């Protein structure tokens, strides 16, 4: 085999910067940038390099031009930028809805991560701490939730195990069948009611459910918890550990299709 290079950056104390972060997603962690080209051929995942300070591409207003392949989402982890990737899609809330952006990606959470959850740091005893895997869109209860792309409704319990209904509540997970986002998945969580079922074929903009407070959202400001998941795993290093997961920041994708911003 040809030489394979995996770009893994050990951040050491950087992991503890997470513990002190105040939860602003733009400042909590930088984008992976330098590691992209180092992951040579053969489909190896690229390491994201968490940093305590924001990089320009992490803090700038995301736009489609932030995508290394404008007009189409990346098809592999090579060159993948977790905080800058734009997946072409439809905003998950109606343009007429009143919404605001709440907690973002990597905001600290209190419990422990599973393999598919982002982490915000490692304690001195080596315990991983979970971070928020999505973006919260604060919006009135009962607001229609729209399909982000053409695709199929899939069962999260078959993809991310163990799946926790007690955390996510009622969800609609759509796996894209669109050529510019093939295989990407959106997760809409804490819904009150679903308009679709697993196996249904949906089209972008279709109402798939209504916002609610199911799962662990009972005590929060009413919001839609929205995640995007890649159809491949991206290596991320924290405190000397490397994890591979499909999570990335959905904010650039949301802003790129946010009807209020265009
Ligand atoms: Zn959330």
CATH number for the domain that contains residue 245: 2.70.70.10
Q: Determine the structural domain holding residue 188 and report its residue range.
A: 80-261
**Measured in angstroms, how far is the CA atom of residue 9 from the centroid of ligand 1?**
28
The answer to whether position 218 is within a domain reads: yes
Q: How far is the CA of 194 from the centre of ligand 1 (A)?
A: 18
pLDDT value of residue 198: 98
Residue carrying the six token digits 């899609």: 89
CA–CA separation, 154 and 200 (whole Å):
8
For residue range 56-85, list pLDDT tens digits in order: 333 333 444 444 455 899 999 998 999 999
- Position 70 scores a pLDDT of 59
- For ligand 1, the distance from its centroid to the CA atom of residue 14, given in whole angstroms, is 24
118 CA distance to ligand 1 middle (Å): 12
CA distance 175 to 182: 8
- The structural domain count of the chain equals 1
Per the document, the length of the chain is 262
> Could you tell me what percentage of the chain is helix, strand and coil, using 3-state DSSP and rounding each to the nearest 5?
15, 30, 55
**What stretches in the chain show pLDDT beneath 50?**
1-68
Judge whether 11 lies within some domain. Answer: no
Does residue 180 lie in a domain region? yes
Specify the residue for token string 């919001």. 223
CA 19 / ligand 1 centre spacing (Å) = 18
- Residue 67 lies inside a defined structural domain of this protein: no
Q: What is the pLDDT of residue 244?
A: 93
Tokens of 4: 């394979």
Q: Is residue 7 part of a domain?
A: no
In a domain, 36, yes or no: no
For residue 144, is it within any domain?
Answer: yes
pTM of the model: 0.74
Hey, is 114 helix, strand or coil? coil
Confirm whether 15 is domain-assigned: no
* 170 CA from centroid of ligand 1 (Å): 13
């Amino acid at each position: 085999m040809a030489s394979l290079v995996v770009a893994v950056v050990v951040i050491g104390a950087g992991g503890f910067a997470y513990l002190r972060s105040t939860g602003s997603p733009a400042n909590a962690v930088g984008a992976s940038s330098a590691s992209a080209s180092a992951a040579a051929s053969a489909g190896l995942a690229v390491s994201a390099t968490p940093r305590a300070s924001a990089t320009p591409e992490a803090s700038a207003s995301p736009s489609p031009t932030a995508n290394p392949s404008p007009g189409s989402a990346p098809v592999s982890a090579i060159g993948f930028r977790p905080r800058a990737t734009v997946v072409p899609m439809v905003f998950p809330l109606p343009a007429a809805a009143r919404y605001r952006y709440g907690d973002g990606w990597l905001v600290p959470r209190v419990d422990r991560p599973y393999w598919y959850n982002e982490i915000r740091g490692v304690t001195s005893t080596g315990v991983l701490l979970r971070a928020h895997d999505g973006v919260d869109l604060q919006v009135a209860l009962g607001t229609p939730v729209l399909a982000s792309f053409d695709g199929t409704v899939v069962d999260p319990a078959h993809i991310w195990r163990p799946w926790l209904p007690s955390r996510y509540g009622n969800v609609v997970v759509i796996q894209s069948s669109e050529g510019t986002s093939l295989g990407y998945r959106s997760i809409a969580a804490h819904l009150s009611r679903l308009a679709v079922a697993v196996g249904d074929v949906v089209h972008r903009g279709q109402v798939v459910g209504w916002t609610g407070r199911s799962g662990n959202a009972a005590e929060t400001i009413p919001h839609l918890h929205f995640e995007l998941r890649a159809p491949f795993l991206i290596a991320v290093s924290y405190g000397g550990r490397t994890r591979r997961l499909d999570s990335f920041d959905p904010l650039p994708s949301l802003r790129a299709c946010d009807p209020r911003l265009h």
